Structure 1
Amino acid sequence: MQVILLTDCRIKLEKVIAILLENGFKIAGVCFGDCKVLGTQKVLCEKYNLRILERRELFFCCSSVDVIFSYGYTYYIPKEVFSSVQYCINFHPGLLPNYKGCYTLYYGMMRNEKEWGVSAHFVNEKFDEGEIILIEKFALDYEKTGKEIAQYTWEEVGIRAFRKVVSLIKSNALTEISQKASIAHVRGGGAYYSRAQLIGEKLISIKELESLGSKEIIKRIRAMWFPPHDGLHLELKDGEELFLVDKKTWDTIKSKI
């Protein structure tokens, strides 16, 4: 089968590529969105002789493609693209249908979820609303920062989910779970979390600091810790910002200086 892989420059791809090749899939191209492909990813594509595609090329290069895999891809996939292949499958780093959208791990941690996971689902016209194929779960470790958990999600759990989906395609055994059928039983109705909403969560007021317990503040700091992106911070009257770091994270930073 011919496949196209949609991803991001920050995603480690070698295991994904290996799974596809081991199972007899031919990779027609890799699209990194608008990332400038340099360093490790460029070397990897050269190693496997993979064509690097620009986003606009997706509109006319899928006619001979059977499957599109979206693994860490952060852009909208137009209907003209996903409807032109037999399967277009996205791997979402969160539990569907509960948590749709951008960096939902933060919201899961704020709600004290015991488990997290990667949801493999078919792509449709709306972000993260296609029917679910499977969810690969793991226990959340609140001693880890958001970045550490996200790395584990993509580099370990997502790989397990990817391997299972490839095996299902190969054996012609793909099934789906309706998100709409289960939405009534979902806490919060299966909310969508936008990038703008996430930016707002990064700002905390003095009043909030005074009202929240230290345990809750530390959890929020660690959940939002995802360098090089800004984390939890205070905005002062003169417009200056103070960024918050818990002691455990600060000790880790000091050990690397």
Structure 2
Amino acid sequence: MKKILFCGFGKLGVECIEKLLDNDYEISYLLTHKELREESLDTFAIKNNIDYSYKDTRKNTDEFLKQFRNMNLDYLISINYRYIIPKKIFTIPKYAINIHGSLLPRYRGRTPHVWSIINGEEYSGITSHFIEESVDTGNIIEQKKITIENYETGYDLLKKFEKEYPELLIQTIKKIDNNYKGTEQDEDNASYYGKRIPEMGYIDFLKDSNQIINFVRAQSYPYPGAYSYLKDGRKIIINKIKIASEKISLSLIGVIEVIDNKYFVKCIDKVLELVDFDILN
């Protein structure tokens, strides 16, 4: 039975672990982040008596080296894990793999599914690859292309990913077990995007209507959301915005106006209607 050091987080991590267990792999140890929700990895570990830790291996390397070296690990698998894993750790198992939420080498880095919608991409995908010291650069093992519908939010796309990750993971391991070494990434097509924080959600109405619609839907609830401000200074979180179907004439770009109890704003090329929003007092 193949032994696995699993590094992951959230419902996505749970679904991947369940798929591994269904295929007779052994989870020897679990590295995760504190959550303790019904569908979280730490809760799953507690219920199934799996040893786990919240510690960052970069700060506790010697401790984990002593522990993992005696486990005879076959795989380190990283799924939705927030910490960079040091080489001293990921080279202990025979193989170390990660699944990333983009079609590498494009969209390396953080929250690639959100960035891909912001940038108006028609499709995204998921990629399994070998782990290297640099982020998201290792040889590609398996990829799955996923269409982004023009109404889908960042959260919608993530839910589509959740359905694809477990099967891609099993396909990946089977290919490695058949001595597949992967294919090198094309650095000429590589791109990198960093972590998003709530403050980055401010809407620039000097962009065109399609750019703004994509920006809003990429970050809509349950994510922190795109935002602007009303004329009275109150913050407004916008979850959905569309091109106004009515003939509305507004003079100033970026100033949200209320007309017949509906909210409108002018951007560089169109008047937009705010469809779903929350006003913070």
Q: TM-score, normalised by structure 1?
A: 0.80
Structure 2 Cα separation of the partners of residues 168 and 22 of structure 1: 18
Tell me which residue corresponds to 1:73.
81
User: 2:220 pairs with 221, 225, 235, which one?
Assistant: 225
* 2:67 alignment partner, SS class: coil
Tell me which residue corresponds to 1:115.
123
Q: Which structure has the bigger radius of gyration?
A: 2
Tell me which residue corresponds to 2:20.
20
Larger helix share, 1 or 2: 1
The verdict on how the C-alpha distance between 1:62 and 1:232 changes in structure 2, with shifts beyond 3 A counting, is: same
Confirm or deny that 1:183 pairs with 2:187: yes
Shift in Å, 1:252? 7.8
Shift in Å, 1:47? 4.0
Tell me which residue corresponds to 2:94.
86
The verdict on how the C-alpha distance between 1:238 and 1:85 changes in structure 2, with shifts beyond 3 A counting, is: farther
The one-letter amino acid paired with 1:6 is C
Per-residue CA deviation, residues 6-47 of structure 1 (Å, 9 max, x unaligned), is: 111x234443223322333211011113x2434333443244
Tell me which residue corresponds to 2:202.
203
The one-letter amino acid paired with 1:217 is I
Larger strand share, 1 or 2: 2
Confirm or deny that 1:165 pairs with 2:165: no
The one-letter amino acid paired with 2:141 is I
The one-letter amino acid paired with 1:87 is Y
**Within-5 A mapping of 1:132-151:** 132-151=140-159
- Kindly, what percent of the aligned residue pairs are identical? 24
Shift in Å, 1:163? 1.9
* Structure 1 contact 138–157 (Cα < 8 Å) conserved: no
* Structure 2 contact 239–276 (Cα < 8 Å) conserved: no
* Structure 2 contact 119–214 (Cα < 8 Å) conserved: no
Structure 1 Cα separation of the partners of residues 240 and 120 of structure 2: 18
CA RMSD in angstroms, aligned pairs only: 2.8
Unaligned runs of 5+ in 1: none
Tell me which residue corresponds to 1:234.
228
Query: Highest relative contact order (Cα 8 Å, sep 6+), 1 or 2?
Result: 1
Structure 1 Cα separation of the partners of residues 131 and 147 of structure 2: 26
Unaligned runs of 5+ in 2: 243-273
